[in-house]
Amino acid sequence: MASMTNNYELYKVFYWAAKTGSLTQAAKSLYLTQPSVSHAIKQLEESFGLTLFYRTSKGVALTQEGSILYSYIEQSQILISLAEEKMAALKNLDSGELRIGGSDSLFKHYLLPYLEDFHQKHPSIRLHLNHGTTPEVITFLKEGRIDLGVVRMPIVDSQLEVRESIQLQDCFVAGSRYAELKGVVLTMDLLLQYPVILFSRNSRARMAISEIFQNYGYNLKPEIEVGSVDLLIEFARRGLGISYVTREFVTKELEEGSLFEVQLDVELPPAHVGLMTIRNMPLSSSASKFIEYVK
């Protein structure tokens, strides 16, 4: 028998000849010459050792064996046409999905405007957001459960590619209960005399600030640990302690005065957010387009 590739071309000629009942019409549909169509059908008949067509006054008609073959080939052609339509829809962002992993805070305070804009322009793309810590998001990505992750840098992993997106600044904030600290520059030693509220141990922000304090010889041990940025903000507003948060995430509270920034006598380095993908892995059309929005 002919190879799979050749078989497909022969089957395509067979399909159009059977569908139109005419070798001439099949040739026109496929932009071939009539002799090429005749030759292709002859090859297919020889490969099976069966006659698939017989001639009529109007053109050609299927033999019993040809009718059986056509019932299968017709289904395959319909599926191929549907597949081609689906691929075109995916390319044009008329169909498909976008799967992103990240923390609640990055989704809410950073990605939300981009997601809103993307959804308005491409409403047919389904959005799937997978929430998790940075290690969890890395696992999601490697397992193929998401197309890209939004994480705090640095990420050191040879399997991953991280495109730097924006810069954030973390800081300590407090509510009116600690109003005496407004305008006061604290040393690390003085700060640790107050109850400190930090995010969970697995967060990049928590690891970064703990490392900074360790470099100065201090052990930053929180009195309260929480699992979300919203709780960091609310606990600080209610006077339960001094929270370590991203300044860009508490802009409203700082402007309205329900929180104020607690100044330290050491400079806190900025944090960087990146878009993380699997290295050398082709992105879906929706993921590629979304990255363009965020750049």
For position 3, what pLDDT does the model report? 45
Domains and CATH numbers, the chain: 4-91 (1.10.10.10), 97-167+273-294 (3.40.190.10), 170-269 (3.40.190.10)
DSSP SS3 for 126: strand
Q: What is the mean pLDDT of residues 133-144?
A: 90
Encode pLDDT of 190-204 as tens digits.
999 999 999 887 788
Q: Provide the pairing of β-strand 97-102 with 53-55.
A: unpaired
* HSE-up of residue 120 (Cα within 13 Å, Cβ side): 7
Mean pLDDT check: name the lowest of 14-18, 104-108, 176-180: 104-108
**Residue by residue, what is the 3-state secondary structure of 229-266?**
HHHHHHHHHCCCCEEEEEHHHHHHHHHHCCCEEEEECC
pLDDT beyond 90 at 77? no
Mean local confidence (pLDDT), 51-60: 93
Q: What is the pLDDT of residues 231-270, one digit of tens each?
A: 999 999 999 999 999 999 999 999 999 999 999 999 999 9
User: Which of 134-138, 151-155, 176-180 has the highest mean predicted lDDT (pLDDT)?
Assistant: 176-180
pLDDT digits (tens, 9 = 90+) for 79-130: 887 778 777 777 778 888 899 999 888 998 899 999 999 999 999 889 999 9
